[in-house]
A and B are shown apart, each in its own frame.
Chain A
Amino acid sequence: GAVVSQHPSRVICKSGTSVKIECRSLDFQATTMFWYRQFPKKSLMLMATSNEGSKATYEQGVEKDKFLINHASLTLSTLTVTSAHPEDSSFYICSVDSYNEQFFGPGTRLTVL
């Protein structure tokens, strides 16, 4: 299966700043990646589908201007949380779609003060 990494693993930032999270597919060229968000004791919620070379597809209720996704290469997708606020604090997880199976990164813990 695909090996997926995320960077950073955890980040703390001040309210109003922007944070970029990277998701890398280490051994597989991924045309499609997914971004999920996990609140404490809650399920993972799909935020968006990241498509290499084209615009991301966002789920209903997810602000595309707040959560900017860039999938510029087959091995890298980035999620930028713009003008972060405390309510954006969460665990962000990406996954790579490989032959109809999803392989997940270890996640990034974002804390906005």
Chain B
Amino acid sequence: GNSVTQMEGPVTLSEEAFLTINCTYTATGYPSLFWYVQYPGEGLQLLLKATKADDKGSNKGFEATYRKETTSFHLEKGSVQVSDSAVYFCALRSRGGGADGLTFGKGTHLIIQP
């Protein structure tokens, strides 16, 4: 079956630090990969996605590259801000003929200190 493993937090960084949140996956075939963010008191929001190998998703300064050879989709940001404090979820979706649900990692709580 499908599974997603991501580093567990909390991860605490100072403002302007470099961020990496690791994510690896197990799936049959070639899934689509996603990063979702959940800000305090809000619902999940799509941060970025990649649908095939070597694709790079990017949004709001965050980036992640779909690495098929290492089955990874690590999230990076060069300079974090206090407003980036949130819980980040890595997720995958299998390619199927119909709509499929997402398989999520456990989430990484990111805390950015001023």
Q: Which residues of A contact B (CB under 8 A)?
A: 1, 4, 32, 34, 36, 41-46, 49, 59, 93, 95, 97, 100-107
**Which B residues touch A42, using CB under 8 A?**
106
State whether the Cβ of B46 lies closer than 8 Å to any Cβ in chain A: yes
Complex contact A100–B99 (CB within 8 A)? yes
A-B contact pairs, 6 of them (CB 8 A): A41-B106, A100-B32, A100-B99, A101-B46, A104-B43, A106-B43
Contact of A49 among B36, B42, B44, B99 (CB under 8 A): B99
Known: A101-B46, A106-B42. A46 touches B106 (CB 8 A): no
Known: A104-B43, A106-B42, A106-B43. A43 touches B99 (CB 8 A): no
State whether the Cβ of B105 lies closer than 8 Å to any Cβ in chain A: yes
Complex contact A102–B107 (CB within 8 A)? no
State whether the Cβ of B112 lies closer than 8 Å to any Cβ in chain A: no
Complex contact A97–B99 (CB within 8 A)? yes
Q: Which residues of B contact A (CB under 8 A)?
A: 4, 32, 36, 42-46, 49, 89, 98-107
Bound-complex Cα distance A41 to B108 (A): 9
**Which B residues touch A4, using CB under 8 A?**
43
Residue of A nearest to B8 (CB): A41
Complex contact A44–B43 (CB within 8 A)? no
B19 to A: closest C-beta gap in Å: 20
Bound-complex Cα distance A103 to B102 (A): 11
Contact of A105 among B4, B43, B89, B102 (CB under 8 A): B43
Bound-complex Cα distance A95 to B103 (A): 13
